[in-house]
A = this chain, B = another copy of it.
Amino acid sequence: MKKQAPYRLYLPENELPRQWYNLRADMPRQPDPMINPATGKPATLEDLTPVFSTELVCQELDATTRYIDIPQDVREMYKLYRPSPLIRAYNLEKYLGTPAKIYYKFEGNNTSGSHKLNSAIPQAYYAKAQGITALTTETGAGQWGTALAEACAYYGLDLLVYMVKVSYQQKPYRKAVMKTFGAQVIPSPSDTTQAGRAILAENPDTTGSLGCAISEAVEKAVTSPGTRYVLGSVLNQVLLHQSVIGLEAYRALEVLDEYPDTVIGCAGGGSNLGGLIAPFMRDKLLGKNNTRFIAAEPATCPSLTRGKYAYDFCDTGKITPMARMYTLGSGFIPSPSHAGGLRFHGMAPILSKLYHDGCMEAVALTQARIFEAATLFARQETILPAPESAHAICAAIDEAIRCRESGQAKTILFGLSGTGYFDMTAYMEYQEGKLQDVPPTDAQLAAGFAALPQIPQNEGI
């Protein structure tokens, strides 16, 4: 007989994973390699090490090592907030009257408020280990910048965060959190880089963009001694680090003698979803389960459900290598929405490949629906979710309702990637009926696709 699951299951500290899991090692069909736009050829170690720490580039390019040791110093910092709890949503189940069992892996119980810390820590650690003294990055909503500021404070690295100017002005609290952890936060565009000065010369009143902030952060990294650039999503290395989410969830479900029939996560760049599904997808690829995987994305930025599978730049500034992924075009600007972490034009190459091969499904959800789900969830489970995470909640509720209708007692696992404490403006707009959902028009999408890189690999797309 199965044990009654507690509300919250915390694995003991000594069950914190000792290795990350590299899903690529078990993918029979590999994602296509990144391409260096300067050479038109797959990006090499030499192409990437001026920008990223060497060990991270090695991880980025490693498609064969199945398990990679988590350095002891990284595990020590992980222990400050991990293992994170696996929670049984008893109250939500009861409210929905569903025979399904709903579990969620909660990554919000740390000051960064999300799973972002899982990759910020190793990225800061490897930089430190290499003798690098400073990191640069960009941040929009501020969650990634906060996570990285925590990690840099811990390892004693300087951190320069280029924060999109409009966010810098609208989200002073996020900025203050980063400063508490010792980060320097600069509104972008700024006069600290050539890229920033050029944009300011052309348009002094611009409120900035993520593309511009990336350009500034990369330029600063490659032109400053002992400095590297770091990125919080999309990359293979980031999904590798985030596998700690899935590995813990897998082990916790094992303790409970459970296995998920459906695994659901929100998807922006893909780091949270990619990390959560990793070990369950391994089982699927090895023919050991029949689990469904669902990516929940915003209707305003539907890269999987309405994008094209093509080579594209990861940034609007077109300075990064090109990756083959589902994309809306690197110039695509989604209509305003409050799920800032999901407003990325593309999707991690690993997830794009799995989706392309039919191993994963995707749904696009409106803000009206996800805030309704978030509010219901908060009242039943007492956790205030981030708008991003609310996409996963909404898809999980939909699945639980289908179970009620079909009478199937499925086991559902979803990722609750973060909390919404810094998103109350969004909740207020929902409460006041002011939320808008403007999905892209067909013409907008066509314009985005027309701007895809004209390279041989994209022919016929």
| CB atoms of A109 and B109 under 8 A apart | yes
User: A384 on the interface (CB 8 Å rule)?
Assistant: yes
| CB atoms of A381 and B173 under 8 A apart | no
Q: How far is the CA of A7 from the CA of B154 in the complex (A)?
A: 15
Q: Mark A69-85, 1 if CB is under 8 A from B, else 0.
A: 00000000101110000
Number of chain A interface residues as a range: 35 or more
Q: How far is the CA of A129 from the CA of B12 in the complex (A)?
A: 37
Which residue of chain B has its CB nearest to the CB of A179?
B431
Give the residues in chain B near A173, CB-CB below 8 Å. 424-425, 428
Instruction: For residue A302, give the distance in angstroms from its CB to the closest CB of chain B.
Output: 27
| CB atoms of A111 and B180 under 8 A apart | no
User: A375 on the interface (CB 8 Å rule)?
Assistant: yes
- For A12, give its contact among B6, B14, B154 (CB under 8 Å): B6
Residues of A1-51 at the interface with B, using a CB-CB cut-off of 8 Å, are 6-8, 10, 12-14
| CB atoms of B7 and A428 under 8 A apart | no
| CB atoms of B13 and A180 under 8 A apart | no
Q: How far is the CA of A172 from the CA of B426 in the complex (A)?
A: 12
| Number of identical monomers bound together in the oligomeric complex | 2
Residues of A89-118 at the interface with B, using a CB-CB cut-off of 8 Å, are 91, 109-111, 113
| CB atoms of B111 and A379 under 8 A apart | no
With A172-B424, A173-B424, A180-B427 already in contact, the answer to whether A6 and B111 are too (CB < 8 A) is: no
User: A378 on the interface (CB 8 Å rule)?
Assistant: yes
| CB atoms of B379 and A153 under 8 A apart | yes
| CB atoms of A381 and B80 under 8 A apart | yes
User: A351 on the interface (CB 8 Å rule)?
Assistant: no
User: A182 on the interface (CB 8 Å rule)?
Assistant: yes
Instruction: For residue A433, give the distance in angstroms from its CB to the closest CB of chain B.
Output: 13
| CB atoms of A180 and B384 under 8 A apart | yes
Instruction: For residue A190, give the distance in angstroms from its CB to the closest CB of chain B.
Output: 19
| CB atoms of A378 and B111 under 8 A apart | yes
Q: How far is the CA of A113 from the CA of B91 in the complex (A)?
A: 21
| CB atoms of B428 and A176 under 8 A apart | yes
User: A157 on the interface (CB 8 Å rule)?
Assistant: no
Q: List 17 A-B contacts (CB under 8 A).
A: A7-B80, A150-B382, A153-B378, A153-B379, A172-B424, A172-B428, A173-B428, A177-B384, A177-B427, A179-B427, A180-B374, A180-B375, A180-B378, A180-B427, A181-B379, A182-B379, A421-B421
The 4 tightest CB contacts between A and B, nearest first, are: A173-B424, A6-B13, A153-B379, A421-B421
Give A contacts to B, CB under 8 Å.
6-8, 10, 12-14, 77, 79-81, 91, 109-111, 113, 150, 153-154, 172-173, 176-177, 179-182, 374-375, 378-379, 381-384, 419, 421-422, 424-425, 427-428, 431
